[in-house]
Amino acid sequence: MDVLGGFWHLTNFFAPAVGLGLIAALLAKLLWWRVLRGVSTLRLWAWASLPAALVGVAGLVVFAHDGKLATYGGMVLACALGLWWAGFVRR
């Protein structure tokens, strides 16, 4: 695999975590706009994406390949916990 192929491989591996974090952060800002008025969308996106990406890496280590449904379920839970922490606990 060349460098460009490796780059796209890593990009596609982390894309579900980053996309999930973005969608969850935007929906949280839309639904709880009064409570989350002082919290930036970028902060919510980072706190939602990073735990989801870590769960994705952990799922790769545990299951020896990516794409397991258990990993994606863990990513959703980690994303929700990260949003809760960044938006409602640490303001």
Identify the domain containing residue 9 by its residue range: 3-89
1-37 pLDDT, tens digit each: 899 999 999 999 999 999 999 999 999 999 999 999 9
48-64 pLDDT, tens digit each: 999 999 999 999 999 99
Query: What is the tally of structural domains in the chain?
Result: 1
Length, in residues, of the chain: 91
Q: What is the pLDDT of residue 67?
A: 86
3-state secondary structure labels for all residues of the chain:
CCHHHHHHHHHHHHHHHHHHHHHHHHHHHHHCCCCCCCCCHHHHHHHHHHHHHHHHHHHHHHHCCCCCHHHHHHHHHHHHHHHHHHHHHCC
